[in-house]
Amino acid sequence: MQKETANLNNQPNQIDTHAQLLKVYTDLPENEGWYVVPKNVHEMTIYAEAKNVDTVLFWLAQTGTETWSKRQLLGYDQDGSDGFSLKWEFGKQVLLDHIFIQALGSDFSTMDDATINVITPEE
């Protein structure tokens, strides 16, 4: 009779179930850490590549200090089968804002977040 071999640290193999945002980006051009709204563009799509995530929330928050309480929920995506994304029509709004992406874990206890910056350049 042969004994089973335990793993090196005598702990069972654990599967990572924590929410993870792997990559966040938009379909706008990027310049020095800011996504730039081209002239005559009035919408964008925000993408989030995630792992172990059930829902992704997309928030708009002003730049500056203590602006979190003034944030606006742009929308959410609960179907990650094709990746998480949100098409946002912002119209003629001039942007100098952060988009805060918040991923809620499918384990119902973890989350991850990331921020991207968006700007409408002066004409």
How do residues 67-106 score in pLDDT, each as one tens digit?
A: 888 899 999 999 988 899 999 999 999 999 999 999 999 9
Domain carrying residue 65 = 20-119
Query: Is pLDDT above 60 for 116?
Result: yes
Residue 8 lies in a domain: no
Residue 103 lies in a domain: yes
Residue 6 lies in a domain: no
Q: Identify which of 120, 115, 123, 2 has the alpha carbon closest to the alpha carbon of residue 60.
A: 115
Give the chain as a 3 state SS string. CCCCCCCCCCCCCCCCCCCEEEEEEECCCEECCEEECCCCCCEEEEEEEEECEEEEEEEEEECCCCCHHHCEEEEEECCCECEEEEEEECCCCCCEEEEEEEEEECCCCCEEEEEEEEECCCC
Please state the pTM of the whole predicted model.
0.83
Q: What pLDDT does residue 15 have?
A: 73
Q: Identify which of 44, 24, 39, 33 has the alpha carbon closest to the alpha carbon of residue 112.
A: 24
Residue 36 lies in a domain: yes
Residue 62 lies in a domain: yes
CATH of the domain at 85: 2.60.40.10
Residue 11 lies in a domain: no
Looking at the 3D structure of the chain, how many domains does it have?
Answer: 1
Residue 9 lies in a domain: no
Q: Average the pLDDT over 94-120 and give the result.
A: 95
